[in-house]
Amino acid sequence: MGSNRVFLPQDALDRWMSEQRISVDGDIMTLLKEGMRFRLKTAMRFVSEVAGGGDGAQLIGKVKDVDQISALGAEHCADSVVFGESAYQVIEGFVGEPVTTAGARTTGRPGAGKEKNPAELDLLAQLFLSSR
């Protein structure tokens, strides 16, 4: 995934939908006021290790999408992920990446590749801050 991805907790998306700030169609989330679109993929943010097995995989504080979790050989159930002898508490949500029409990934500048676009990230930051 590109460097513009952002983790969006499920409860934040639910709140934004109820406030009619976003719409979600399939795997595309649209910021209604700004018109920005993001492709969503189910992901988890690792919060803590809860079984006493330690964090040998160094997952605490990281975000992994479901494909990455599966590739590790870990198992996800509700707000937990079990990996080897470790069990992690996770926050369920989505990783969002900016998209343009026709589904192409963008950073907002021609030829910019995977560079970060501060304007897109600022829009998401404003959405987070204004919903508190």
* pLDDT reported for residue 69: 95
Domain segments of the chain: what residues? 6-130
**Mean of the pLDDT values across residues 19-44?**
94
Instruction: Give the whole-angstrom CA distance, residue 37 versus residue 81.
Output: 29
Condensed to tens digits (0 to 9), the pLDDT of residues 65-117 reads: 999 999 999 999 989 999 988 999 999 999 999 987 654 444 443 334 444 45
Q: Is the pLDDT of residue 132 over 60?
A: no
Burial of 8 (0-12, 13-18, 19+ CB in 10 A): buried
* Average pLDDT for the chain: 82
For residues 13 and 23, what is the distance between their CA atoms, to the nearest angstrom? 9
